[in-house]
């Protein structure tokens, strides 16, 4: 009887561990995909903003970039839904904040909201801070030690080319 009980408990623990591991793999995929979609959206918004502001040579038409932004937004929404289904409470809240920050960038790039270059830079900084917060909360949810912010990894500013760091360029 003791052998049977010991074997049953061990089998139950093994199945619980397998289930936990399987969900962690799905969470990791969902979190990574969401951040990838966010970054794609931001890069497309930067392309549109720089084109609209005359800071970039025209390689594509605004309508093409806007179509790509629309598709990226759709894919970002699908990735967000996966986070909503799999993420813990803090991860879901971090995803909401990240989504809102990214939408602010989209809206300024498309001209839906107004603002100057300083507003644009701050919106991008806010989005990348939100990405870092999402990374930190996702790591905690997955049980990964460490963080991407804090004393060991201080906040970083936008990475910009040296020639653009003056008052007229994008650097801060």
Q: Which residue has the higher pLDDT, 77 or 156?
A: 77
* Higher local confidence (pLDDT), 9 or 130: 130
As a whole number of angstroms, the distance between CA 137 and CA 92 comes to: 9
**Can you tell me the distance from the alpha carbon of 51 to that of 146, in angstroms, rounded to the nearest whole number?**
39
Fold type of domain 2-164? A middle domain of Talin 1 (1.20.1420)
pLDDT at 158 > cutoff 90: no
Q: What is the model's pLDDT at position 50?
A: 93
Residue 151 CA: distances (Å) to CA of 10, 147, 148, 156: 42, 10, 10, 12
Report residue 97 as tokens: 């904040």
Q: Which of 32-36, 40-44, 108-112, 159-163 is predicted least confidently?
A: 159-163
More confident residue, 169 or 55: 55
Q: What is the pLDDT of residue 167?
A: 46
pLDDT of 168 over the 50 cut? no
Long-range pairs for 25-33 at CB < 8 Å and ≥24 separation?
Answer: 26/86, 27/86, 27/87, 27/138, 27/141, 27/142, 28/142, 30/79, 30/82, 30/83, 30/85, 30/86, 30/87, 31/83, 31/87, 31/91, 31/134, 31/138, 31/142, 33/79, 33/82
Domain boundaries, the chain: 2-164
Long-range contacts of 93-96 (CB under 8 A, 24+ apart): 93/137, 94/130, 94/133, 94/134, 94/136, 94/137, 94/138, 95/34, 95/134
Express as a percent the part of the chain with pLDDT over 70.
83
Q: pLDDT tens-digit profile of 3-62?
A: 877 877 787 887 776 655 668 899 999 999 999 999 999 999 999 999 999 888 888 999
d(CA 6, CA 113): 64
Mean pLDDT over each residue of the chain, to the nearest integer: 87
């Amino acid at each position: 009887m003791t052998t049977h009980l010991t074997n049953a408990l061990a089998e139950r623990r093994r199945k619980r561990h397998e289930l936990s591991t399987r969900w962690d793999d799905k969470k990791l995929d969902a979190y990574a995909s969401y951040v990838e979609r966010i970054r794609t959206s931001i890069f497309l918004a930067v392309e549109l903003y720089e084109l609209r502001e005359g800071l970039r040579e025209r390689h594509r038409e605004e309508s093409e970039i806007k179509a790509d932004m629309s598709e990226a937004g759709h894919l970002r929404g699908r990735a967000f839904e996966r986070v909503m289904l799999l993420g813990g409470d803090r991860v879901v809240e971090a995803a909401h904040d990240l989504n809102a920050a990214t939408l602010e960038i989209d809206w300024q790039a498309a001209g839906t909201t107004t603002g100057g270059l300083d507003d644009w830079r701050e919106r991008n900084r806010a989005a990348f801070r939100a990405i870092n917060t999402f990374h930190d909360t996702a790591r905690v949810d997955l049980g990964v030690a460490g963080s991407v912010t804090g004393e060991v990894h201080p906040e970083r500013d936008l990475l910009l080319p040296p020639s653009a760091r003056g008052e007229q360029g994008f650097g801060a």
